[in-house]
Each structure stands twice: as C-alpha cells, then as structure tokens.
Structure 1
Amino acid sequence: MATDDLDSWMWAEAVARQERADRLQKQFFKRATPRPRRQWEPPVDLFETQDALYVIVALPGVSNATLTELEVRGDTLFVAGDRRVPTPGQEAVLHRLEIPHGHFERAVTLPWPRLAIAGHELKDGCLYLTLSKR
C-alpha cells in the first residue's frame, strides 16, 4: 500500500469517526424538550336549564389572580390557571402531597352551541360559571 493511500485512508477513517462521535453527542446531549405545561385537569359538573348552562369547576386554592384563562371559543369552554402549593411555615415537613398543584388547563366541549359567559364567581374552592344561551 502506498503512503498516499495509507494517509488518505487514515484521514477518511478519522473524519468518519469524528462524524460518528458528533452524531452520538447530538443523540445523547440534545436539548431537553420542554415539559408540557398542563399538569392537572380539574373536574367539571354541567347543569342545563332552558336559558343557561351552569358549570362548576373544582379549583381548591385558586384565586381570581391565578386564574389565567376563562373563555368560550366555538363550542368549547377553556379554563386555565395555577394552583400554588400552600406552605404553612418554614418549619413544616411535607409528609403527603395529594391535592394537585401547578398549572391546570381544562377544555370542555359544551352540549349547546354559541354560549357566552354571563357571570362567574370563585367561592368555596369552586368556580361557578353561568353560560347564557344565545
């Protein structure tokens, strides 16, 4: 084997190994994909009368300030916000955390088209919505 052929072969082998190392590095050290924002979905009750639809969304510990979305688009109601973990004090030791916290989103398909939010109230850990029929 000629020296030029050996040098070319070694160079080609080195380039191929570098490309493989780059691919492996990209495979194992790629950017972390963002975690989905939604962490929990609150339960919902729907009641219908002749004039309106009443929606109750269980949102313990959620205030108006942390409710970020409340909207009807088409035939879907969207409710979103955040529930922070309550901290009773610096000395508190957490033994159990069962009530959901963090960001929540809920999309509810409504049984009646073209509803509009006529009123809402956060009371007793629930969001009470009145959706008027048009």
Structure 2
Amino acid sequence: MSELSSPGGEMRLDKWLWAARFFKTRQLAIEAINGGKVQVDGQRAKPSRSIRPGSRLEIHKGSLSWTIEVLAINKQRRPATEAAGLYVEDEASREKRQEIARERRELGGQPQEGRPSKRDRRMIQRFTGRNEPSD
C-alpha cells in the first residue's frame, strides 16, 4: 500500500466509495447512498457515516452488486489498481457479478428504449415500404 493508505483511521462513506472507484463522482456516491443502494454492516447509511477497516458494505449499482469488506482507507483517489487494494470482495458476490456479465455478453446489445432515432426511423420506413414522410 502507498503512504496515502492507512490500515487504521476513519473516512466518510461517500469519500471512500469515490476513492475506491465505485462511483465516478462523490455526488453520484451521495445519490446512491441516499437512495438506499449502499448498506454498511447490514444497515442503511448516510453519506457522512464513518467507515473503518473491517466495515462490510453492500453496494448495488444497476443490475450489479458487490459485497465487500473494507481493508484500508485512502485519503485521495488513486489509480484503479491501487483502489482495488482498499477492499476485498466476497467470493459469492464476485461469481454472481461475473455470471451477470457473461449473460450480458451472450445476449448482445440491449434493445433500445424510447423513440427511434432518425436513422432507425428511416430504416423502418424502408423496410415497411413507406418512404414518404407522414404528417
């Protein structure tokens, strides 16, 4: 670990999630925490909650989830390789995430939601034989 990592000490939950690279910004981390997507030791937490090494976190982000144990505190955001050393993930959590990722790769692209783009609309019109724009 670098000199910025400390095996002891405390840090705000939102800062730690940002420094450990679970969220791109602290604001996104705060929104996830307030939305109940992050639990500390099995309980809902606030962004200002202090965490220390040994704390267990459950993080839900989209369809993915992590169950981790905090190993160290890092006061600054460091490269991803160093950030991965701040925690250890449960084996069951890792296997579940890898399974979800594999299923996504097998299914290919997700169907588009919402209105079709201009390009998609033109392709639909060509396919259906209606090339003239409708009013």
TM-score of Structure 1 vs Structure 2, range by shorter chain: under 0.3
Name the structure where helix makes up a greater proportion of residues.
Answer: 2
Question: Whose relative contact order is higher, 1 or 2, with alpha carbons under 8 Å and at least 6 apart?
Answer: 1
Name the structure where strand makes up a greater proportion of residues.
Answer: 1
Q: TM-score, normalised by structure 2?
A: 0.20
